[in-house]
Amino acid sequence: MTIKKQWLLVLVIIAILSVIINSLILSILTNQYFKDYMKDNYDKHLNQIVEYLSGALKDENYSENQIALELETHLVDPITRIKVYDNNGVLITDVSADVQSYVTSGTMSGMMGNMMGRMRDSQYEEVDHTEIIYGNTVIGQVNITKYSSAENSFATWMFQSSLLKNSLYSIGIVLIFAVIIGMIISNRMSKDLIQTAEMAQNIDIGNDTPSRQSKVKEIRVIQQSLQTLQSRLKLKQKNRKALIDQLVHQTRTPLTILRTHLEGIEDGVIDMVPEEIRVCENQIENITAIITNMSSMIDAEKLETTLNIEEFEFSQLVKQIVNGLKAQFEKKGIDFKITDHEKVSIKTDKYRLSQAIYNILTNAYKFTEPNGNVSVSYHVNSDSIILVIEDNGPGISKEDQAKIFDAYYKKDISIGSAGDGIGLYVANENMAIIHGTIIVESDLTKGSKFILTIPR
């Protein structure tokens, strides 16, 4: 069963139960009220009848017709019949709500009629016998037939019948309004649920979905959860793309170095000496490290960064990086050198640090003109190493300096290749992970200087 049908069914049931319960409570209260009313009304008429007959029967010349007419005024619920006898037990008059007749001197005048077909059976009636006393003498007696209880009275029966009929009318009217209101509300709810289902389907197939806000709190919470889920999925996709791009970029650097050195060896420009073999081995180690960490890099939901802290000789690392890139720089005609050789031990993530240095040097290679120069220098402080990579390339404007570390930021320039906009982003991220920093100092046409602060 759909929510729409369930809502209508519940609303109709509640409406019917409300009317029925209201009618029952009203009927119970009315019956109690009628019981009290009928009792008080009966006592009042009984006293009036006895009082009247005490005065009328004390005189032997009483008028039987007048007594009958007077008693007829007391034939009201719950009284249905009044019989009056003299002190000898002779019937003086008999008046009935059904017959509307009286009997005088033992003779019944009128005819037995039945106005309402005798609405109540005799089993619901009872007779009260009361003596008529004048002074200390009994001068007659009166038998009053009445309904045994308020529930059996004609007025109560008519009222309950009317109440039942009105209750049925009320149920009909309430049902009409309940169906109309239920249709309006259920249509709105079902519309919101259909829209929410469409949102979920669009998220499942990767389509953008407009933001909708239902007026129903529970549905609105679901919609907001779906919007949050969509935002997280987009962020996850973006992170996955960024990590894959990092993987591609990081793999490209050692492969380029290997290709350059192998081409140099093949052309006879580079000699196959132990030092050159060590350069190639270092690049192979870099590629191996990238492949080893591939699964964790592709997992875009992994928020924690794993560091592989080790102690190593910093000057040796810088020398390996410079030797690995030197063939490329020389092929382009760029003077590439390292000006410091001070030995110093450092304890950090060797792979992330070397990747950051590689990326900055690769960036300098791209944007430095032939016959230009790139230098690497560093000095040691008590708690850090300051590494400076300087070139005499085209320089970076102040506006671009605030953006060059953003992912996928590329500036159209006439010199070199703009690249994929991921290298400096990766370098900055790696330095942040090892709690280091990168700052850039540059002016247009005056080259650039990248300063890395590396904690020891």
Domain map (residue ranges) of the chain: 3-160, 296-455
Q: Residue 78: is the preceding peptide bond cis (ω within 30°)?
A: yes
Q: CB-based contacts of 188: which residues, under 8 Å, 6+ apart?
A: 215, 216
Determine how many CB atoms are found less than 10 A away from the CB of residue 33: 12
**What percentage of the chain reaches a pLDDT higher than 90?**
20
More confident residue, 154 or 77: 77
Mean pLDDT value of segment 125-140? 86
pLDDT-based confidence at 99, cuts 50/70/90? very low
**What digits encode the pLDDT tens for the residues 393-446?**
999 998 888 889 887 777 654 444 455 677 898 899 899 999 999 999 998 888
**Residue 372, pLDDT score:** 93
Nearest alpha-carbon partner for 358 in 289, 430, 275: 430
In angstroms, rounded to a whole number, what is the distance separating the alpha carbons of residues 313 and 368? Answer: 29
CA distances (Å), 279 to each of 137, 138, 270, 326, 338, in order? 146, 144, 12, 10, 16
- pLDDT averaged over every residue in the chain: 78
**Residue 348, pLDDT score:** 94
pLDDT-based confidence at 2, cuts 50/70/90? low
The arrangement of secondary structure in 296-455, i.e. its CATH architecture, is 2-Layer Sandwich (3.30)
More confident residue, 338 or 248: 338
What token pair was written down for 51?
A: 């009082």
Q: Which of 50-59, 216-225, 400-409 shows the lowest per-residue confidence on average (mean pLDDT)?
A: 216-225
**What digits encode the pLDDT tens for the residues 362-399?**
889 989 999 999 999 999 998 999 999 999 999 999 88
Mean pLDDT value of segment 45-73? 85
**What digits encode the pLDDT tens for the residues 274-329?**
877 887 887 788 778 777 766 655 554 454 567 889 999 999 999 988 888 888 89
The arrangement of secondary structure in 3-160, i.e. its CATH architecture, is 2-Layer Sandwich (3.30)
**What digits encode the pLDDT tens for the residues 187-205?**
777 777 777 788 788 777 7
Can you give the pTM of this predicted structure? 0.47
More confident residue, 235 or 133: 133
Mean pLDDT value of segment 148-156? 61
Say whether pLDDT at 95 is over 50.
yes
